Amino acid sequence: MKRKIFIPVMLILIGSVTAGCANGMTPSTYGSKQQGIVQTLEVETKAISDDNETLESSIKLPVFSSENNKELLNEINTLLEKDALKIKEELSQMAENDFKDAKKENIELHKYELLVDYEVYTANSELISVTVLNYQYTGGAHGMSVKVPYNFDLRTGKEIALEDFFKEGSDYKKVINEEIQKQIKEDPDKFFPDEVEVFSGINDEQSFFIKDGKLVIYFGQYEIAPYSSGIIEFEIPNSILKDVVSPSFIK
């Protein structure tokens, strides 16, 4: 899904970044020297915790900041927090209703849980690529994890979809599908048999992120593999995308 952030954009010169989940409130600084000037982008972790009779939640989110692009980065920070708090509110309401019903039936329920964390993969002059992972436990044998991607074009202030990286009219899906099918066949035991036989293919709302300048396609739990396989990622080699990638994203 693409969302526009209507903020005037000033380009910033920031180097590519790869990082794991940040811990605590210590800012991380990402930058590179370009044309003799060092420009930086800081990422600080914002922690939001809550614990009541029905739900225990722990939310960690990135807070992007820089001397440049302050308004745009604030809009991105606000969007990430708004989405996370919406998930918390929905789960909180669900927990309250379920516990109320369980009490009427004299059934004991385990407190619901919500854990939210993040990974920043890229933060440069044109692109921020980050995922927010939320884990929910609502009873049963195990919880469920959902990894939500956020990819922002800092030149336009727009959240971009996979198709935006490719030339209009190019058959980029075919190129990517063939590569994923190849990787599936290299480790077939991780996947559902039907996907090994014929990969179902990527879709228009496909989840992805950009890491170390490379496209990574991923699938959630149960999409193409059993729960035990977790969230499946496929790194797509740049060499096979060179004929279909949009000139605006070629370095």
The pLDDT of residue 124 is: 74
- Domain(s) labelled CATH 3.30.565.40 in the chain stretch across 28-160
The answer, yes or no, to whether residue 16 has pLDDT greater than 60, is no
Residues paired with residue 219 on neighbouring β-strands, in sequence order:
232
Q: In Å, what is the CA distance from 31 to each residue of 183, 197, 222?
A: 33, 44, 37
Contact 221, 231 (CB under 8 A): yes
Q: According to the model, what pLDDT value does residue 5 have?
A: 38
Taking only the tens place, the pLDDT of each residue in 19-75 is 333 333 333 443 333 433 324 578 999 999 999 999 999 999 999 988 888 899 999
Name the residue with higher pLDDT: 239 or 9.
239
Please report the pLDDT score of residue 250 as a whole number.
61
Task: Check residue 28 and give its pLDDT.
Answer: 44
Better-predicted residue by pLDDT, 66 or 206? 206
Note the pLDDT tens digit of each residue in 157-173.
899 999 999 999 999 99
pLDDT at 4 exceeding the cut of 70: no
The DSSP code sequence of 82-146 is HHHHHHHHHHHHHHHHHHHHHHHTT---PPEEEEEEEEEEEESSSEEEEEEEEEEE-SSS--EEE
- Positions of CATH 3.90.640.20 in the chain: 163-244
Q: Which 8-state DSSP code applies to residue 237?
A: P
Long-range contacts formed by 48-53: CB under 8 A, 24+ apart: 48/84, 48/85, 50/88, 53/99, 53/111
Report the chain's C-alpha Rg in angstroms. 20
pLDDT tens across 89-108, in order? 999 999 999 999 999 999 99
Give the single-character DSSP code of 206.
-
Give the position of tokens 């990402």: 30
In this predicted model, what pLDDT tens digit does every residue of 103-123 receive, in sequence order? 999 999 999 999 999 999 988
Do the beta carbons of residue 211 and residue 122 sit within 8 Å?
yes
Here the tokens at position 158 are 């727009």
Rounded to an integer, what is the distance from CA 45 to the centroid of its chain?
16
pLDDT digits (tens, 9 = 90+) for 140-151: 889 999 999 999
Residues 6+ apart with CB under 8 A from 137: 110, 112, 113, 143
Share of the chain above pLDDT 70, in %: 83
Instruction: Give the residue, 42 or 214, on which the prediction is more confident.
Output: 214
Average pLDDT over residues 184-199: 96
Q: For the domain bounded by 28-160, which CATH number is listed? A: 3.30.565.40
For the domain covering 163-244, report its CATH number.
Answer: 3.90.640.20
User: Rounded CA gap, 176 and 240, in Å?
Assistant: 8
Q: CA-CA distance, 117 to 147, in Å (whole number)? A: 9
Model confidence at 156, pLDDT cuts 50, 70, 90, reads confident
